[in-house]
Structure 1
Amino acid sequence: MAIYEFSCAKCSHVFDVNLKVDDRDTPQVCPECNATGCKRSFGSSVTSHVSSGAKTNRSGTKNRTPEKKVIHLSNLNKSG
């Protein structure tokens, strides 16, 4: 699984989707305007593993994998 960036032609919203490599070119639905056919963009995003101990998910059970945090390269200089 990998995180891919998609963009909506209707509202210009850019969003990330966690997909299997084989599904990376499958058009997605925009989470903002529900437009169909959003295409994968080739923006720059970085995936980082954040390990801060066991986390509890919504059902109250502990997650087995560390949380992932997506950091867009355009925001790297803003965090100092």
Structure 2
Amino acid sequence: MEMYNGYHFWGMHFIWWFFWAVMLFWIFATPYNIPGQRRKKDSPLDILKKRLASGQITNEEYQQKKTMLESDSAK
């Protein structure tokens, strides 16, 4: 006596295939900056570059602070 009668992938099996397809799509298609997700913190130089790009500091201030940061990291 054949148990599935040739309909092995339908019924509950179809639901599980659909579930795993949705899970894989969700894992690989969601953006990486999910709120609450741990991220690498920005370095001081990255923060300085962002401040220059947003116009909070001038290019001269950027150069001064950059040399200061580089001299501190060389020690």
TM-score (norm 1): 0.20
Higher percent of residues as strand? 1
Higher relative contact order (Cα pairs below 8 Å, separated by 6+ residues): 1
- Who wins on radius of gyration, i.e. which is larger? 2
- Structure with greater helix percent: 2
